[in-house]
A and B are shown apart, each in its own frame.
Chain A
């Protein structure tokens, strides 16, 4: 049985003016780390909130370990741990009081499940008497994860846990998720950061309420089948503008210190000649494997 099964799930807001989810299908296996990858407005939060039994779907069905969040919300709430995107703990309670509160509400106690949160909570111990509202973003996030774990959930739903977090802290957070995965917890995590896709077992790329693509990061990269070239030039901005001006260019985007180029037709040698004749010196063109971000952008550009 799938840990999470979603069929034709739809949801709209504002009397149908805003369509948040458009007949989404998903199947997440037990023990998977599953990434919902997409920008703001993709529908990630709506999907997670429906799974967490906090929103009712408009049509379609969802199941979490066999339970329907819309009908059997009491069962669902026992087996999930949910970490919302916005900090939702009690700001006026201390770190320890928050944890105690969540443990009590779920009829658990801190001692019993301390092993699950030890690694995280050890870092919070020096601040255990501090009010949660006075913690830094990184510490708030750690406390929120502790509170989501304290009743030993089988499924973790994490809504953008790394948004606004610096790259080093992001990596630490993912190391932590990998260790939770070892305990067999199914983890569904949403993120706008495309580079986190490769850390997931499987992902769905989402945009404007639809799923553009589903699979392992590897599968998705293989499936794309598009030839992609990188241009590494000394003059970053003028080369970008010139590549875009080349009639054979389908798309050209800056990717860190290189530009990624898809050609409509023709060989990279033709592009190379065009660049030279337009005054771009000192550059290299070579073929590369598309990354998840390349594929996402390709899908987006073909949508519009």
Chain B
């Protein structure tokens, strides 16, 4: 089953084509790495896929809904987490769960039960009434991820989820991603850590608004005669004509 399927997806701002005819799909339960240099068009593409921006031409579906006509349904059926924006530091762990659950219209009674179950599963029950800012970074991240998927979306978008995180916490976070994918959740993730690109089932690399390569990490390394994904990335990104400024 395809959770994302897009064809000829294009977004222009005036003369500038930020996203140029993207055609690709993402399967259910897949961990899909979405890479590209700064300015390659990743953010614009993600915004379209999340229903925040309408394409200039081309289209497709996300979670079964049409990108052009059903952006509200898309927003309800996806999860989103970024390092920069996720939880509220001045709310407690429990309040954060309740708040986000409320946004997604989870009935209050059910939400209460579910938050307690979630806190319990994360081992956070003793700290549920602590302000988020007083929790260690690793816990916050686990909570942010769990909150982003508590409304049972079919896909979760993770925008550089591990920036600035210590190397152990970074790997614990990937353990969570693996487990969630194992349960059938589709993961769409961007990262600047090329070792993390290796953990993805398939990886796409954007250059100048287009997808320059898309395959499993193993196949990409063969295709570009590279030792690791860092080298694949460098070979491709160096071919870029445009910079982030235009």
Q: Which residues of A contact B (CB under 8 A)?
A: 38-41, 126-127, 130, 135-139, 163-171, 192, 194, 207, 236-237, 253-257, 293, 296-297, 300-301
Contacts of A163 on B, CB cut-off 8 Å? Answer: 163-164
Chain A residue with the shortest CB-CB distance to B83: A164
Could you jot down 8 A-B contacts, CB within 8 Å?
A40-B165, A165-B38, A165-B192, A167-B194, A167-B237, A171-B234, A253-B171, A257-B198
Least CB distance, B179 to chain A, in whole angstroms: 9
Known A164-B192, A167-B194, A257-B217: A138·B243 in contact at CB below 8 Å: yes
Of chain B, the residue at the smallest CB distance from A237 is B178
Give Cα A33–Cα B38 distance, bound, in whole angstroms. Answer: 26
20-78 of chain B: CB within 8 A of chain A = 36-39
Docked complex: B115-171 residues within 8 A CB-CB of A: 137, 160, 163-169, 171
In this complex, what residue of B is CB-closest to A252? B171
User: Which residues of chain B have C-beta atoms less than 8 A from A137's C-beta?
Assistant: 38, 244
Q: Which of B167, B195, B228, B244 has the most CB of A within 10 A?
A: B167
In the complex, the answer to whether A254 meets B199 with C-beta atoms within 8 Å is yes
Answer whether residue B185 sits at the interface, using C-beta atoms and an 8 A cutoff.
no
Residues of B within 8 A of A171 (CB): 234
B230 interfacial contact with A, CB 8 Å:
yes
Is the pair B38, A236 in contact by a Cβ cutoff of 8 Å?
Answer: no
Give the docked Cα–Cα distance between A41 and B233 (Å): 29
Given A39-B166, A167-B234, A256-B229, A138 and B38 touching (CB < 8 A)?
yes
Name, among A137, A138, A166, A192, the residue most crowded by chain B CB atoms within 10 Å (CB to CB).
A166
- A254/B171 contact (C-beta < 8 A), A40-B164, A163-B163 known: yes
Chain A residue contacts of B37, Cβ below 8 A: 166, 168-169
Taking CB atoms, residues of chain A closer than 8 Å to B100 are none
B245 contacts which of A139, A255, A300 (Cβ < 8 Å)? A139
Say yes or no: B166 contacts A136, CB within 8 Å. no
Out of A167, A207, A255, A257, which one reaches B166, CB within 8 Å?
Answer: A207
B167 touches A40 (CB 8 A): no
Residue of A nearest to B217 (CB): A257
B164-A192 in contact (CB<8A):
yes
Residue from B228, B237, B244 in contact with A136 in the complex, judged by beta carbons closer than 8 Å: B244
- In the bound complex, what is the Cα–Cα distance between A9 and B136 (angstroms)? 24
CA distance in complex: A269, B172 (Å): 27
Tell me if A300 and B39 are in contact (CB < 8 A).
no
> Besides the contacts A38-B166, A136-B244, A165-B192, what 6 more A-B pairs have beta carbons closer than 8 Å?
A127-B245, A136-B38, A164-B160, A171-B234, A237-B178, A256-B228
Task: Indicate whether A40 sits within 8 Å of B137 (C-beta atoms), given known contacts A127-B245, A138-B244, A236-B199.
Answer: yes
B238 within 8 A of A: yes
Contact A139 B137 (CB under 8 A): no
**Which residue of chain B has its CB nearest to the CB of A42?**
B166
